[in-house]
Structure 1
Amino acid sequence: MKDSQARTIYLKDYQAPDYLVDHTDLSFELDPHATLVKSKLKIRRNPAVAQANETLPPLWLDGADLELLSVSINGELLPAHRYQQRAGGLSLSTDAPEFELEVHTRIAPEANTSLEGLYLSNGMYCTQCEAEGFRKITFYPDRPDVMSVFTTTIVAPASYPVLLSNGNKVDSGTTEDGRLRVTWEDPFAKPSYLFALVAGDLQHVEDSFTTCSGREVKLQLFTEARNIGKCAHAMTSLKHSMRWDEEVYGREYDLDIFMIVAVDHFNMGAMENKGLNIFNSACVLASPETATDAAFQRIESIVAHEYFHNWSGNRVTCRDWFQLSLKEGFTVFRDAEFSADMNSRAVKRIEDVTLLRTSQFAEDAGPMSHPVRPDSYMEISNFYTLTVYEKGAEVVRMIHTILGPEAFRRGSDLYFERHDGCAVTCEDFVAAMEDANGADLKQFRRWYSQAGTPVLDVEDTYNEALGEYSLTIRQQTPETPGQKGKLPLHIPITVGLLAEDGSPLRLDDAAGQMEVVLHLTEASQNFTFAGIASRPLPSLLRGFSAPVKLRYDYSSAQLQFLMQHDTDPFNRWDACQRLSINSLQTLQQQYRSGEALQQPAALIEGYAAVLDDAALDPALVAKMLALPSAQEIAEQGGEIDAAAIIAARTFARDAIATALAERFLTRYHALEQHKPYSPTAEDIAERSLKNTCLFYLCAAGSADALALAKGQFERGENMTDTAAALAALVEFGTETQAEGFLQAFYQQWQQDTQVVETWFGLQSGSAKFGTLERVQKLIAHPAFEVKNPNKVRAVIAGFAMRNFTQFHRADGSGYTFLADQVIALDKLNPQIAARLVTPLTRWKKYRAQESAQIHAALQKISVSGELSRDLYEVVSKSLEQD
């Protein structure tokens, strides 16, 4: 497992750069095998670290996989003794505090399978420089606190008519030998990770946006000709994002042009490069025939996220990679609020919290557990995590809750004003919030440095004689790797109280508030409410006001009451989840003890009440009717018994389906849509509930239900309904039926990359026995491409990360399969390999047999040879649990 380059980098060791780069002039002569890169850098000694009469330190330039051709200072070629090339970069001595450095390098984009730096994607040149990809383009101080103004000239054969980079186009023409030449200039200083270049035979759609100050901005979305009809939704989403950012945050776009490029081969969802956002095709291209509702909403959210980065990430960037959540946590919060305003706020919150509970909480409790701002890392790409992004967003949300919307806006205004054009820290963000409002968030800062998911235990008492209701809340954060003795956090807990008739109680007569925010700052605190005429039922942690696990001993009857009466839609859903978890835990106990599984009566009654409530938003009903995933059930604490979880969940699903079949059928027919597709919140809600009903109907095993699914599949009015019907037919039809429908679907859509990825995912996610064998065949399918991260995510990750039932096969073959795939992928794309290994990292959490099998799979990876830094860090930390 040895990695000779593996070393730990610590936040405490941060030092400001010795040199700054005021201007970067880049020239590219593109060639698949031998691209020539010339860089001219205007460099000066950093005055913040310079000392009088000092001997100038060497200049260090990061570099990887580069062929060095020449190095010059102020126009003079340097002799060999003036510089030294070694692993990781180039060191050169200098005798002047200011100089112009010119470096010529050669790179091979076609051979770059890591998809970092400059590489070829389906014949298109593309870059990905965050976090440390720029060093694969040229030797450079590749760190976020070195900010420079960039000018980029691209020279390419005429077969690449579109040549793009950051900023505004300032020149174009042809060379003497007939090649195309374009020069771009970005007037805003930026770190190297925000550099971008694209070259290809592309088409584009164009629109414009008039900013709040009256400037007209050109908007362009580039893609291959075959996808040009799938750009309208992304363009609309971009314009909505630009308007929303002006209205909610006062942020106006600053360049003359904003461009988006869709790329098939991309490790991430998208990248916020200044003025030239590069997107994974799956995150920007959509049409009703080829993309599901979830894809439409994901595209809207990601387009907004990358656009919002123009201020929260580009104009104000992070000082070092430990501060990654400074830009990502803040921007995820911003895009979540945007999506909530564009769609159903309750459903958006439910989706975000579900991701936290199923995956981020697991990360908090695993070997890679780290704070929102990590203290150390071996490979920075491993810290593009749910903790940095999603928990980071929850930390920002808590500040918003503590201060209130108006105060939060004052804080963000000060933050952008104070730090525009700077590379700053998480403390700078919090300080702006404090200074703008005279607030004290000193204790709150612990959220940035303390890992783990806090657990809240809540007890209540009621004094009838005094009319006082009291809540006692205790907090504790479990120990995590490298962190013991956790300190109390400042946790905002939004609370409401319900009367016996279900009406909300007024908790603040002066303000007429039906809910209040309790500020838990001690290990244990008591909160008392006066003037309460009878014992209320608490509605706790409304809107999921903090990323914590909450324990309060609700009875089944109380949970059903909250499901029907709570005025907070998130807590109505959460009560349903809690009722489901309680029923599933009972079924697991019955399974382990060998008893016959019993109908979950309380759960069926609760679901029936939800189905019968015509006043509820259909989108919320669909969410409430969805059983907790196996992954979420596994995170409820204690040893994970995969077989018991699978048995309990399958039994509960079938019992609900059978008991409520008539209700599901009635709602299904009431929601059938035979109208033009629209991705509006209302239509998406109706399709969501309709397809939830269809899934349960098919689970009940009725031939009539399968006929409904067959009819919906064959009508094919939109991809949402088609894919939902196909999923039900694959899951509940016979093997012969499933194969027939899958082949019909593939024959129709085999020319469409995104739809084929949907087809892959439907198969890899099937809970049917035999899915592993099907997945192994899919890897050999002509449409599968191991160098394409989207295909890998659809097939391999779809099986290992989203198919709990078949990944945890009793013979351990699922674990062995994943280990083999990770070993192979590490040679091609270390980032993807390191992310894929995640399901194996929590081996100690499982019962003995599964734990041993998962551990063996990890060991297989560890002895397979020298691993990349990315994979080495994850595997070594996972095995440290021995």
Structure 2
Amino acid sequence: MRTEQARPIRLSDYRAPDWLVDTVHLDVALHPTRTRVKARLALRPNPQAAGPAPLVLDGDELTPLSVGVDGVALPESAYAATPDGLTIPQPPAGPFVLEVETEIDPSANTKLMGLYRSSGNYCTQCEAEGFRRITYFPDRPDVMAVYTTRIEADRDEAPVLLGNGNPVERGEVPGTNRHYAVWHDPFPKPCYLFALVGGRLAARRTGFTTMSGRAVELAVYVEPGKEDRAGYALEALERSMRWDEQAFGREYDLDVFNIVAVADFNMGAMENKGLNIFNDKYVLASPETATDADFAHIEAVIAHEYFHNWTGNRITCRDWFQLCLKEGLTVFRDQEFSSDMRSRPVKRIADVRVLRGHQFVEDAGPLAHPVRPETYREINNFYTATVYEKGAEVVRMLKTLLGPDRFRAGMDLYFARHDGRAATIEEFVACFAEAGGADLTQFMLWYAQAGTPELAVTRRYDAQAGTLSLDIAQVVPPTPGQPTKSPMVIPLVLGLVGPDGADVPPVLRGHGPVERGVLVLTRPAETFVLEGLPGRVVPSLNRGFSAPVKIKADLGSDDLRFLATHDSDPFNRWQAVQTLASEILIGNVAVIRAGGGVRHDGGLVHALAAVLADERLEPAFVAQVLSIPSEGDIARDIGRDVDPEAIWLARHALRRAIGNDLAPTLRVLYDRLRDDAPYSPDAASAGRRSLRNVCLDLLAAPGHPGAIGLAAAQYAEADNMTDRMAALGTLSLHDTAEREEALADFADRFREDPLVIDKWFALQAMIPDAGTLARVQRLTAHPAFSLGNPNRVRALLGSFAQANHTQFNRADGAGYDFVAEMVTTLDGRNPQVAARLMTAFRSWRALEPGRRDKARATLERVAARPSLSRDLADIVERSLGER
């Protein structure tokens, strides 16, 4: 482990590589502890470089065996090779071939970066800087080369050998039990997209014909015996490929596309060219073991990694500061895909919930950074909600500003102009400026400024003139390193709802009808005067969440109830109910902290009843409306001096009130939505189950024995994991015998299925009881728990630290101390997972003084530990850094 902090890497210091690599030939002889890698790199000086330069290649924990140039071994005096790098001070002046042999130990690679062996299988993870753990290389994304890989292994240990690109040769190694496979990828790629897999795997296969008539073989590789749980992933891949052809004109370019599911993986999945490696939780699914949410996540992640083939692989990032160029853009693409496959309104609500629950919190804390950061110490720590989720919102704003046709023209230009290159944000945005005929100079601030813009909206209605004036002021709050901000370009989609509940087309005085309803804010304060109104209208602001901003508008409770009943924009109809509930909850938090009793607001229940009575609405949408703001949502809206215990009490009281007041309606709906047909993960069926299970949860919220019995009966009778898990989740919130009986049954019923047992660990970690910390501590000693499996760590420790707001933020600080101790233990094994777990402390400054002091003390103790990894030290330092 390193004891020093890595020096900052700055965007302003970028310089082109001194050497380029045209081709890479790798010969990888797999062995559990002594894998040998022979690399032949065709190098040439970069004509854009300043002049002759030494050859400096990256390494990480490598054992060098030999170094040669153009077939001649170099004397040791001609180079310097260490585990962390290879330098040739005086390389040949022109193109040459470097030959390097290294040895690595895949079984000892607990970081799960580079080439590692887990559960008997070999696999790789090279993003962001893992390739240097395989061989010496200029490990940066702007060095793109054509790869040919020969993989050799013991046939009994690894009968399946997979690589990037197309298979070109297979054979036996004479006189041994070993065999080999050769793979060639004809498309230049950066080394972070390199992949290989070797192991005992079974495949589920199908074929796909592209829009130009090319045949492609598709396969999903899993552990033998699990092929029947890979069918949905394979179907999702086919849907993704067809959608990308139709929506973006992008056709797949190789003869094969392989997905491999592995149990031990630091990330969700990786888009390596032609060989996507997945965490098996995003591949394996059956009605008995996966929930509707699991099926939806599998479809989305399969699509995301496939879409990277063009947005990330064919066009990659010039440097890691441009990470959002592939991730934010591809998240936008997978969101659009899921919206088309399922329900666009429900998907939009779900995406905004994630954005607010993770990215808005990140923007408001010490880990805030721009979508394109200016500096970093450890790039692994910048795979964040800001880069992914806010990055997607920035792309969505481009589409809102330009309209769908000009946006598509900009994407087409980007693909045509930058295919096969490593691009920058400036080059990406320039394509839209050119294709859309727009000046996007100010828009670039979305990539440069951190923080969530806040809008204040005030109305002035003139009945005599039939006008409505909207005074809108924007401010971007200070964030670490950015105390002052410039005004942003904000596309605000506006609707006007008339007295009869119908939309009134917005007409801007002096400009005419508002094109596509988009008001464009560019200054700190602006006034928009809307004319020709038939009477008093209620503005529906930021429809479809057209911009990732916070809005404070002078809309009263009556206005919000009106929008909740009549707004034609589903997102804002949902938002109106959320705002009503949030105002009640925040008021009750203050009352609870002052020692008073909570108030009950019948207006919210009336709004919910109106939504329940509207039979035109999708069940999945109604389920979203009935799901009141989370504890994290309330904490974010309060912003300062947060008391998680008071928030939980206020939310618990509101759920009880809703459950009591709407009990008859909820019970009728629960019974009516019962479905005796065979399980299907389709969107409509999933929506009905979602609403039915929300009804069950609210019915049980008051704790009535009959409702608890109803949940217990659903758990026992369920024929699918969605209904079983929903019932168990409801029971988990009530300290009853039924809860413990169901938890014990679940553990016994699914003890042989690791992915399902992850659900069992996670659910217990999220129970908001005072005894949960002790429960979680006991579970760390459970035979099924292992710090070596990232999924298990995230399920138990991640769920406790990031989803259990009351118990992680215990007033005595014991939750902080427990998580910190587990993180520092994990850091010696897997720094990347440890660092991500530590981000649970990202909101500590917003807590009330007692908890804030305890969280700071815990962070300071971790910071004082010797030998922290760069990953963990970076997170702790930034968490403790400037405000």
TM-score by length of 2: 0.98
Q: Can you list the C-alpha shifts for 1:328-387, whole angstroms capped at 9, x where unaligned?
A: 011000000000000011111111111111210111111111110000000000000000
Q: C-alpha offsets along residues 24-63 of structure 1, whole Å, 9 cap, x if unaligned?
A: 0001111111100100000000112254xxxx21111100
1:178-204: CA deviation from partner (whole Å, max 9, x where unpaired): 201110000000000000010000000
Amino acid at match of 1:339: S
Match of 2:246 in 1: 247
Q: CA separation in 2, counterparts of 1:466 and 1:553?
A: 21
> After the TM superposition, which residues 111-510 of structure 1 pair with which residues of structure 2 at under 5 Å, given as runs?
111-159=108-156, 160-176=158-174, 177-507=176-506
Counterpart residue number, 2:743:
742
Cα distance in 1 for residues equivalent to 2:367 and 2:2: 19
- Once residues 39 and 602 of structure 2 are traced to their aligned partners in structure 1, the CA distance between those partners, rounded to angstroms, is 70
The question of whether the paired residues in 1 share the 8 Å contact of 2:370 and 2:451 is answered with yes
Amino acid at match of 2:304: H
Query: In structure 2, what is the equivalent of residue 103 of structure 1?
Result: 100
Q: Distance in 2 between matches of 1:5 and 1:641?
A: 34
Per the alignment, residue 646 of structure 2 pairs with 644
> 2:709 corresponds to which residue?
707
1:84 aligns with one of 71, 74, 80 = 80
Q: Which amino acid aligns with 2:247?
A: V
Which residue in the other structure is 2:45 paired with? 45
**Once the 2 structures are TM-superposed, how far is the Cα of residue 842 of structure 1 from its aligned partner?**
2.7
Deviations along 1:406-434, one digit per CA (max 9) or x if unpaired, are: 11111101101100100010111100111
Q: What are the equivalent positions in structure 2 for 1:718-729 lying under 5 Å apart? A: 718-729=720-731
User: In structure 2, what is the Cα distance between the partners aligned to 1:830 and 1:127?
Assistant: 17
- Alignment of 1:16 with 2:12, yes or no, is no
Query: Which amino acid in structure 1 is aligned with residue 191 of structure 2?
Result: S
Q: Which residue of 1 aligns with 2:25?
A: 25
1:227 is displaced (CA, Å) by 1.7
SS for the counterpart of 1:518 is strand
Paired with 1:638 and 1:581, the residues of 2 have a C-alpha distance of: 15
Deviation at 1:519, TM superposition (A): 0.4
- Comparing 766-775 with 572-581, greater Cα deviation is found at 766-775
CA distance in 2, matches of 1:189, 1:632: 44
The 5-angstrom pairing of residues 815-826 of structure 1 reads: 815-826=816-827
Q: Deviations over 1:190-222 (max 9, x none)?
A: 000000010000000000110000001000100
Please tell me whether the aligned partners of residues 3 and 872 of structure 1 are also in contact (alpha carbons under 8 angstroms). no
Alpha-carbon distance change, 512 to 878 in structure 1, aligned in 2, over 3 angstroms: closer
SS in 1 for 2:723: helix
Using the TM superposition, give the Cα deviation of residue 88 of structure 1 relative to its aligned residue in structure 2, in angstroms: 3.4
**Distance apart, 1:508 and its partner CA:** 5.1
Runs of 4+ in structure 1 over 6 Å off: 509-514
DSSP 3-state at the match of 2:235: helix
Contact 2:507 2:530 in 1 (8 A): no
Q: CA deviation at 1:156?
A: 0.3
Cα shift readout 1:641-671 (whole Å, capped 9, x = no counterpart) = 2122111111111111122111111110011
Offset of residue 439 of structure 1: 1.6
Q: Which residue of 2 aligns with 1:553?
A: 554
CA distance in 2, matches of 1:539, 1:5: 49
Distance 1:504 1:512 in 2: 14
Cα deviations by residue, 1:661-691 (Å, 9 ceiling, x for unpaired): 1111111001111111111111111000000
CA distance, structure 2, for counterparts of residue 87 and residue 404 of structure 1: 52
Are the equivalent residues in 2 in contact too, given 1:506–1:514 (CA < 8 A)? no
* Correspondence list, 1:853-864, <5 A: 853-864=854-865
CA distance in structure 1 between the partners assigned to 2:507 and 2:461 by the alignment: 18
Q: Distance in 2 between matches of 1:602 and 1:173?
A: 73
Quote how far apart the aligned CAs of 1:638 are: 2.5
Specify the code of the residue in structure 1 equivalent to 2:818: F
For residues 731 and 366 of structure 2, what CA distance do their matches in structure 1 show?
Answer: 39
8 A contact 1:841–1:875 mirrored in 2: no
1:656 to 658, 666, 671: 658
SS in 2 for 1:150: strand
SS at match of 1:837: helix
Kindly provide the CA deviation profile for residues 579-633 of structure 1, in whole angstroms up to 9, marking residues without a partner as x: 0110001101111211122223222222222222222211111111111111111
Map of 1:609-620 to 2, 5 A cutoff?
Answer: 609-620=610-621
User: Structure 2 CA distance, aligned partners of 1:363 and 1:724?
Assistant: 29
Aligned to 1:784: 785
2:811 counterpart residue number: 810
The aligned counterpart of 2:55 is 59
Contact 2:370 2:449 in 1 (8 A): yes
Q: Is the 8 A contact 1:464 1:533 kept in 2?
A: no
TM-score, scaled to structure 1: 0.98
Offset from partner CA, 1:304-341 (integer Å, 9 cap, x none): 00000000000000000000000001100000000000
User: Take 1:275 and 1:821, find their aligned partners in 2: how far apart are those partners?
Assistant: 37
Partner of 2:630: 629
Aligned amino acid, residue 476 of structure 2: T
Mapped to 1, the partners of 2:641 and 2:543 lie a distance apart of 29
Which moved further from structure 2: 808-817 or 540-549?
A: 808-817
What SS class does the counterpart of residue 841 from structure 1 fall into? helix
Alpha-carbon separation, structure 2, partners of 1:471 and 1:874: 42
Q: CA separation in 1, counterparts of 2:171 and 2:448?
A: 52
Question: What CA distance in whole angstroms lies between the structure 2 residues aligned with 1:230 and 1:574?
Answer: 37
Does structure 2 retain, via aligned residues, the 8 Å contact 1:822–1:861? no
Look up the equivalent residue of 1:788 and give its one-letter code: N
Shift of 1:275: 0.1
Q: CA deviation at 1:702?
A: 2.0
Measure the CA separation in 2 of the matches of 1:660 and 1:528. 41
How far apart are residue 514 of structure 1 and its match? Answer: 9.7
Q: Give the whole-Å Cα distance in 1 for the aligned partners of 2:808 and 2:555.
A: 33
Matched, 1:688 2:685: no
The percentage of aligned residue pairs carrying the same residue is: 51
1:36 match:
36
Could you tell me which amino acid in structure 1 is paired with residue 291 of structure 2? T
Equivalent-residue separation in structure 2 for 1:348 and 1:491 (angstroms)? 22
Give the alignment of 1:562-601 within 5 angstroms: 562-601=563-602
Unmatched tracts of structure 1, length 5 or more = none
Aligned counterparts of 1:875 and 1:390: Cα–Cα separation in 2: 23
**CA distance, structure 2, for counterparts of residue 528 and residue 500 of structure 1:** 19
Residue of structure 2 in register with 1:717 after alignment: 719
d(CA) in 2 for partners of 1:269 and 1:454?
A: 30
* Partner Cα separation in structure 1 for residue 882 and residue 313 of structure 2: 39
Q: CA deviation at 1:80?
A: 1.5
- Residues 5, 873 of structure 2: 8 Å contact kept: no
The letter of the residue matching 2:65 is L
The whole-number CA distance in structure 1 between the counterparts of 2:315 and 2:213 is 24
**Corresponding residue of 2:67:** 71
What is the DSSP-based 3-state SS (H/G/I as helix, E as strand, rest coil) of the residue aligned with 1:226? coil
For the 8 Å contact 1:38–1:102, the answer to whether it is kept is yes
The answer (yes or no) to whether the contact 1:600–1:652 under 8 Å persists in 2 is no
Deviates more, 1:603-612 or 1:458-467: 603-612
SS, match of residue 525 in structure 1:
strand
After the TM superposition, which of the residue ranges 524-533 and 376-385 deviates more from structure 2? Answer: 524-533
Cα distance, 1:769 vs structure 2: 2.4
Q: Give 1:847's aligned residue.
A: 848
Q: What is the alpha-carbon distance in structure 1 between the residues aligned to residue 601 and residue 84 of structure 2?
A: 60
